[in-house]
Every structure is written in structure tokens, then in C-alpha cells.
Amino acid sequence: MCKPILIAIGGNSLIRAGQSGSVKEQIENADTTCRHLAKLVEQGHKIVITHGNGPQVGAQLIRSEMAAQQVYQLPLDSCDASTQGELGYVLQNAMRTALHELGMNIPVITILTQVVVDELDSAFSNPSKPVGPFYSKDVAEKKKNELGWQVIEDAARGYRRIVPSPEPLEIIELDAIRCCLSQGFVVIAAGGGGIPVVEKGGAYCGVEAVVDKDKTSALLASKLGLETFITSTDTDKVYLNFKKPNQCALEEISLAQARQYLDENHFLSGSMGPKIEAAIDFLSHGGKEVIITRPELIGEALKGRAGTRIFSDKKEPSHEA
């Protein structure tokens, strides 16, 4: 039996570039992604799956705001919860089907996950997390003026709404996740980075924010004592000088190099930056390796044939960075 791994799939795994994001499209994309993940289970891996929810939670907020005159509005933490359940349902069914196609009768479970944050976190006064669809500059400015949104240009692809993104501190359902994993379940958890809550008088209260999916995933992988953390994206590898004439693919780098490249601003905050930060967090707390690649390349990446691998040791990379 292979060692357990955590796989964080990005929003691109459910809504691809150029798609409208319809439920039909998301189900089809989930089916494709889960066929790749099911092969890992067939190889003997126990897996925990986390996922993003940026486009979906943004859409949920728009629905809530547009219907405010007819039904009650949803705070952002409730939108986090509802999209976590919605996407868990899609992924759970897709994963179960993919396993069945491989002749495996393995239970799949979605665990609605809450994440403790600090109510004094500076993120609440400095929103930074993009949610929802991309807009042109004119449309973004209109929404900013009419709805009071804060917006930012995101990775040269347009403009998006930004909301607070505090640091995850604890995962409330950790024991339940650990128990299901130990029993051989495929576990879907911490969707969208989890539902952000703060502790008050022994109770947990939701707060309006979106926790970064990769940072929560790194925290969960660390708390579970896993050695390998995989985060998927829409590129085959991590690149220096991304989309520039001198871009350079990174195949294997050390933790120290990851820190160096992050400090040198090679990775944008709305794109690869949070993934590298999450990798650094995981490796700094006992993890052995992080793999970053496309969902369809994860199997090859685990064999060292694809993706970018970041190691906790002093191993020298096999490329010229």
C-alpha cells in the first residue's frame, strides 16, 4: 500500500478556460479529473481531495445580491458552506463513478469542513482573495461603484472581485477526516479552503471571508502527517518569468530555492504565489515533497516524469534554473 497523499485540485479542474461554468460543464470536468485520481487509488494510494471554489462562490454571491429584494441574503461564510457542499456532491459522484469503472468498490465521503481563523487577522482590512468571474475594466469599475466591491487585476486575464483571505489556523473536522482516511475512504474535505470561523466563548461563529484553498490544504496535509502534498493547476510545471520570452520551467527545486524565487517576486499573488507559499508551509512543518502540475499529469508526476517537485531536503535540482 502506498503512503496517503493529499491532492488539491484547482478551480480550473471544474471550470475550464473559455467555458461558461454551467453545471453540466462542471460535472463533465469533474468526471475527467476524477478518472485521473481514481487511477491513483487503483495503484494503492489513500487520498484526500481538496478543491477550490473561487468561481462558484463568486457566482453564489452574485445570486444572493441580485435576489436580495425577494429572499434573504447569504453572508460569505454561508456561500462558502453551500458551494463546499455543492462541489463535494459533484466530485463525490464523479469519484465514485470513476472507481466503479475500474472495478473498485471504495467508499467516497465529503466532509463539510470549518477552518479557524483569527478575527484580528490583517486580511479583514486588506482584502486580497479573487472570487467570481473575470470582468473587463469597465464592468469591474461599474460593479465597484454600484456594489461597493473591491476589485483587482488578476494575472493579466481581467479584473475580479477581492475579499478577505485570513490565514487558516486549525481544522475543526480534522479527527473525522483522519478517521475516514484510516478506514480506506476517499475523503473530499476543506473545499474552497473551508468555512472560516472564529472561536468565541467556546463556540464557533462564521466570518465573511474566503480562506485560500492551497494554504488550508497544506495545513490539513501537515496535520494528517502526510509526506506528499499535490496541488494541481492549469500549467504543466512552475515557471520562472512565466509567459515571458525568457520563461524557464522548474522541474526539481529545494525548499530554500522556493523561498528565494518567491522573495524575488517570480510568482503572482493571484496565480502561482499562494501555491508556492502553501508548499513552503507544508515542507516547513515536516512534509517531504510538494508536486505542482496539471490534473492529468499527477500520475506521471508521482513517478518523477512530469510537473514541478519541491523537496524539503538539500537535493540539487536536475536543471539550470
Instruction: Count Cβ atoms within 10 A of the Cβ of residue 70 and give its class: 0-12 exposed, 13-18 middle, 19 or more buried.
Output: exposed
CB 168 within 8 A of CB 143: no
Bigger pLDDT: 135 vs 93: 93
Give all domains of the chain, ordered by start, each with its CATH number.
5-117+167-311 (3.40.1160.10), 129-163 (no CATH)
Catalytic positions, written as ranges: 11-12, 129, 213, 275
Question: Under 8 Å CB-to-CB from 256, ≥6 apart: which residues?
Answer: 314
Chain CA centroid to CA 132, Å: 15
CA distances from 281 to 47, 103, 208, 214, 229 (A): 20, 37, 24, 10, 11
Quote the CA–CA distance of 313 and 294 in Å, as a whole number. 24
Quote the CA–CA distance of 22 and 112 in Å, as a whole number. 23
CB 227 within 8 A of CB 289: yes
Quote the CA–CA distance of 231 and 215 in Å, as a whole number. 10
Task: Give the tens place of pLDDT for each residue, 162-210.
Answer: 889 999 999 999 999 999 999 999 999 999 999 999 999 889 999 999 9
- What's the average model confidence in pLDDT over 63-87? 90
Question: Under 8 Å CB-to-CB from 2, ≥6 apart: which residues?
Answer: 43, 44, 45, 46
Which 3 state secondary structure label does DSSP give 51? strand
Bigger pLDDT: 125 vs 20: 125
Backbone φ and ψ of 51, nearest 5°:
-155, 160
Of 54, 46, 3, which Cα lies nearest the Cα of 234? Answer: 54
All three cell numbers of 4, joined, read 496517503
Other Cβ atoms less than 10 A from the Cβ of 214: the count is 28
Task: Give the tens place of pLDDT for each residue, 128-158.
Answer: 887 777 888 998 898 888 878 889 887 667 8
Instruction: Please name every residue paired with 249 in a beta bridge, in sequence order, or none if there are none.
Output: 239
DSSP string, 166-180: PPP-EETTHHHHHHH
Task: Give the tens place of pLDDT for each residue, 270-312.
Answer: 678 889 999 999 999 999 999 999 988 999 999 999 999 999 8
Taken in order 296, 88, 113, 131, the sign of the CA dihedral is positive
**Whole-number pLDDT of residue 12:** 65
